[in-house]
């Protein structure tokens, strides 16, 4: 029995040494893999609301179109996630219709919701759209994101806007020369 114990110890020691040699190789190879997640694009996009700050009457319904414009022809958009603020004393959301699927540029809309108060003045809605396409199929230009149907709660000019610091807006895609 005394001869088996050192043999088991040798096997355990060899297995530990093999792990110690293989682990750095695995870490090196995984670090070298290219990240495939798109990154947020900065300075190449503009968001649009139409109409901007409409005059409304009580119980009147109207559509607000949200779109994104890529201002650099070398930038290709693959998704957007945004929050729109609206005057909580003047407006309520009837419906949110993302421009996704079918013949639309974006293929999916994982988020299309309106929630409670953003602050004392505004409520918010959030829309997220994705274009599940290959890099070659992605394009720039102006793309519709969603149509929001609002109903007037009282008469007057209503405010619909993006956050003042743009912190609630994100567009992802492929930038110039294939960078993300």
For residue 33, give Cα distances in angstroms to 30, 37, 61: 5, 12, 51
Q: What percent of the chain has pLDDT over 70?
A: 85
Dihedrals φ, ψ of 154, to 5°?
-155, 165
Q: Report whether pLDDT(86) > 70.
A: yes
Which residues are paired to 55 by β-bridges? 157
At residue 163, the pLDDT reads 86
Across the chain, mean pLDDT equals 82
Tell me the H-state helices in the chain: 4-32
pLDDT, one tens digit per residue, over 137-151 is 888 888 999 999 999
At residue 94, the pLDDT reads 95
At residue 179, the pLDDT reads 46
Task: Please give the average per-residue pLDDT across 164-171, as a whole number.
Answer: 82
Q: Report whether pLDDT(108) > 60.
A: yes
| All structural domains of the chain with their residue ranges | 1-33, 39-178
Residue 137 CB contacts under 8 Å (≥ 6 apart), including other chains: 131
Task: Please give the average per-residue pLDDT across 47-55, as a whole number.
Answer: 83
Distance between CA atoms of residues 35 and 28, nearest Å: 14
Strands (E), the chain: 39-40, 45-50, 55-56, 61-70, 76-87, 91-98, 108-117, 122-130, 141-152, 156-157, 160-162, 169-174
Report the alpha-carbon angle 70-75-77, nearest 5: 70
- Reading the block at residue 9, the tokens are 């110890």
Higher pLDDT, 44 or 146: 146
Q: Are 54 and 160 in contact (CB under 8 A)?
A: yes
pLDDT band at 29 (very low <50, low <70, confident <90, very high): low
CATH domain 39-178 topology: Immunoglobulin-like (2.60.40)
Three-state secondary structure call for residue 135 = helix
């Amino acid at each position: 029995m005394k001869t088996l114990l050192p043999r088991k110890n040798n096997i355990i020691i060899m297995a530990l040494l093999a792990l110690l040699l293989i682990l750095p190789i695995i870490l090196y190879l995984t670090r070298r893999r290219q990240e495939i997640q798109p990154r947020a694009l900065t300075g190449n996009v503009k968001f649009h609301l139409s109409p901007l700050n409409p005059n409304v009457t009580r119980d009147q319904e109207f559509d607000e179109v949200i779109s994104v414009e890529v201002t650099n022809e070398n930038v290709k958009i693959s998704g957007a996630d945004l929050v729109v603020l609206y005057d909580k004393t003047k407006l309520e959301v009837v419906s949110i219709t993302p421009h996704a699927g079918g013949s639309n540029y974006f293929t999916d809309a994982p988020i299309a919701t309106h929630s409670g108060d953003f602050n004392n003045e505004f409520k918010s809605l959030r829309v997220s759209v994705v274009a599940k396409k290959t890099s070659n199929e992605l394009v720039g230009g102006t793309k519709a994101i969603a149509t929001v149907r609002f109903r007037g709660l009282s008469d007057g000019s209503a405010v619909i806007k993006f956050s003042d610091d743009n912190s609630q807006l994100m567009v992802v895609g492929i930038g110039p020369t294939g960078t993300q």
